[in-house]
Structure 1
Amino acid sequence: MQKSLLALALLSLGLGHAVADTIRIGHAGPLTGPLAHIGKDGENGARLAIEDANAQGIMIKGEKAVFELVGEDDQADPRQATTVAQRLADEEVAGVVGHVTSSASIPASRVYEQNDIPVITPSATAPKLTAQGYRTTFRVIANDLQQGEAMAKHVGQVLGVKRVAIIDDRSAYGQGLADAFAAKLKDYGVDIVAREFTSHTATDFSAILTKIKGSAPDAVFFGGFDAQAAPMLQQMRQLGLSGKFLGGDGVCTGEMLKLGAGKLTSDVYCTQAGLPMEKMPQGADFRARFKQRFGTNVQLYAPYSYDAAMTLIQAMKAANSADPDDYLPKLRAINHDGVTGTIAFDAKGDIRTGGITLYQFKDGRWATLD
């Protein structure tokens, strides 16, 4: 890794501070395909953290650290994710923010473990990710078990739903979230009257929905993302399925508001891991700075990507080293104030204080319920 020629020239003249070799931090997520808006949102969050860290003039081993973001497109595909992970390892990144989806994060995490590279996901919520027991895997957001519990409780105790049909996209995220939701329904007196699945690329759900209609559900829960949730909702209404439509954080997006325009009603509910931005300790400031820097609103996970990147950097600072062997113990013991809240990990690498927020579509936006 090369030092800046300008920095070396300044030093030769006795000016400026020593500048360390560039410290590369990777970001991996879908930058093409139907989830590109979520992947780019996360990459921008990490990029803002890198820019902030460089502006702070962080010193490591007596030299001013220079951080660089290395972005990779995993297309939210498990096979591509492992290729991307190995590419980042070959690039000798010091740490990784990612991957965005659970289906990509789970296989990629093995590559990072084998290469001793710490990785923090801002958004992969499948419990299986941290249950693997890898030393290098961390998560700064709540998991699907917490989301499933929150939605099941709201459905049974608040909405009074008695009969639910469940569909998932068979991804690690979608199926995991649907399973977590299903596992808790009986605790709240709700029956599962149908359980169906589709693929994460399907756009025609008429056969599944027609079959579900015969079971007369009060609500339909979809474990998956906004790109499919919007056409699914439209086809539900066209078939006369008038019950409530439920989803997780893959549905709770700004893009869903666009894709579902004219289809969304007050009968649509979703959960999101973490706090709404207005309740995040630094949410208002982050939202304004993000909009100013990138010319667009936060889509979903940008604050968590920012915290993931900054957490890696803070661990390096605490260890006075960007070598994973040196800073990994500091990362495991980290406790610092992030945009989204306090960042501290349990023994598995899960966030200790991850919360869940419930939303309802109302007046053209996602309105906070709890």
Structure 2
Amino acid sequence: MISTQPTGLGFGRDQTLKRRFAVKKRSILSVLILGLFSFWGGSAQSADEWGTLTIPAGRPVKIGLAAMLTGDYASLGLDIRNGAEMAVQEKGTLLGHPIELQAEDDGCAGPPSVAIAEKICNDPLVAGLVGYMCSGGSKPASDIHNKYKVVMISPSSTALELTSRNIPIFFRTCWNDKIQARRAAEFAVKKGWKEIACIHDKSDYGQSLAEDFARNVASLGGKVLGMEGITRGDKDFSPVLTKIKPAKPQLLYYGGMAAEGVLIVRQMKRAGFSKTVFMSDDGCYTEKDFIQAGGAASTGAYVTYAKEPDPAWVKRFETKYGPRQTFSPQAYDATRILMAAVEKTAQKQPDGSLLIGRKALRDAVAETRMDGITGRIEFDPHGDRTGSVVVVYRVAEEGGKRFFKPEDF
């Protein structure tokens, strides 16, 4: 007789099959869920055409900084670092992540700037960089940044060619030398100084600025009596001054930095340039390296620079760091722009990590509309700051104190 009741063996097999099916079903569901998360995570990481920066939970968002921190122009570089540091410290955190300022010494030159660019651009935690200090460093470094699509904002590199190259990752919170040269030339000609001689330091910054100044003077009816180059780091400029002196220029214009500029203005006095006015650029707009180092010889000299920053900010800065020099306000604003762009574009993940699209970050910088401590900041399509204003300052002496006094014209 054949039983129609399930045997123990048959019943157990059915239950086992059911359990196996349930386990398999859960496994398939888990794979699907993991695949879904992988799909969306992958989409977030690959959506940005320049790639995505991932900041793990608890790790800092790094902001690079490149300036000359040692050597002849260190006071300018340390001033830049202090401006950026102040912005970072005031901000505190970005979307729950600490902020780390990674300061590097760029030497105000090409080779060290290129090395820093490679280091910064290959750091997986760096969102962008404030720098480089000098145009001669910014030019080759910007090629590296463009290769890796890491945005950079210079507070101090003013050479015109930096934005005429149309490199999309480069911006600056300072002015460009086209504006600076034109303003200086207009001032000189209006003052009646139409016979000029020029000296430059052969750098991308100094030489292009001096040459542009000379072209502007000529276009305004002035006469260029000579154009001479010196070498950065030299101390004795009597040979070039001796060469220029017989032409009796009404104005001697210097394109370069304060370390050499202050020596030139002091040696001019000793060489008997009693009727020749000295004029220079933002590289000489430094109380420490030009006014204090030049002493009485600096009185009556002219330099160009931006409008003075917000006085309340200057007070806060100088309480913390002592007298500011030149580009700390522009560095402060550049750092704030970069941090605001990170906040705007970063995608916070459930695990606390941040995903930051490289192009999205760059585009956020390009779309900046900010009232900074240096004034309104917006950028044109080339990365130049729109509406930049350059002011001519004279080293005045009143009550036994020398200081930069803005000139009206």
Normalization by structure 2: what TM-score? 0.80
2:127/2:342 contact within 8 Å kept: no
1:134 pairs with 2:167: yes
RMSD between aligned residues: 1.4
Partner of 2:327: 301
Cα distance in structure 2, aligned partners of 1:324 and 1:184: 40
Cα distance in structure 2, aligned partners of 1:115 and 1:260: 43
Secondary structure at the aligned position of 2:297 is classed as coil
Offset, 1:176:
1.5
Cα distance in structure 2, aligned partners of 1:347 and 1:74: 27
Partner of 1:336: 370
Gap runs ≥5 in structure 1: 1-17, 278-282
Which deviations, in whole Å up to 9, do the C-alpha atoms of 1:188-231 show, x marking residues without a partner? 22100111001111111111000100111111000011111111
Partner of 2:230: 198
- Between stretches 186-195 and 32-41, larger displacement belongs to 186-195
Partner of 1:4: none
Offset, 1:77:
1.6
Partner of 1:94: 127
Offset, 1:58:
4.2
Cα distance in structure 2, aligned partners of 1:275 and 1:40: 21
Identity %: 30
Matches within 5 A, 1:266-281: 266=300, 268-272=301-305, 274-277=306-309
Cα distance in structure 2, aligned partners of 1:185 and 1:20: 57
1:39 pairs with 2:73: no
AA aligned to 2:175 is: A
The one of 363, 368, 379 aligned to 1:345: 379
Partner of 1:24: 62
Matches within 5 A, 1:1-370: 21-54=59-92, 57-59=93-95, 64-92=96-124, 93-157=126-190, 159-242=191-274, 243-255=276-288, 256-266=290-300, 268-272=301-305, 274-277=306-309, 283-294=310-321, 296-321=322-347, 322-363=356-397, 364-370=402-408
Partner of 1:9: none
Normalization by structure 1: what TM-score? 0.89
AA aligned to 1:109 is: S
Cα distance in structure 1, aligned partners of 2:295 and 2:97: 46
AA aligned to 1:298 is: R
Which deviations, in whole Å up to 9, do the C-alpha atoms of 1:32-56 show, x marking residues without a partner? 11000000000010011111111xx
2:346/2:357 contact within 8 Å kept: no
Higher Cα Rg, which structure: 2
Cα distance in structure 2, aligned partners of 1:206 and 1:317: 54
Cα distance in structure 2, aligned partners of 1:264 and 1:58: 44
AA aligned to 1:362 is: A
Cα distance in structure 2, aligned partners of 1:123 and 1:170: 18
Which deviations, in whole Å up to 9, do the C-alpha atoms of 1:74-120 show, x marking residues without a partner? 11121111011111122231100001111111111111111110000
Q: Are the structure 2 counterparts of residues 336 and 292 from structure 1 closer, same or farther at C-alpha, using a change threshold of 3 Å?
A: same
Cα distance in structure 1, aligned partners of 2:100 and 2:77: 18
Which deviations, in whole Å up to 9, do the C-alpha atoms of 1:240-293 show, x marking residues without a partner? 112000100011211211110121222x11111x2123xxxxx11211211222
1:95/1:324 contact within 8 Å kept: no
Gap runs ≥5 in structure 2: 1-55, 348-355
AA aligned to 2:323 is: N
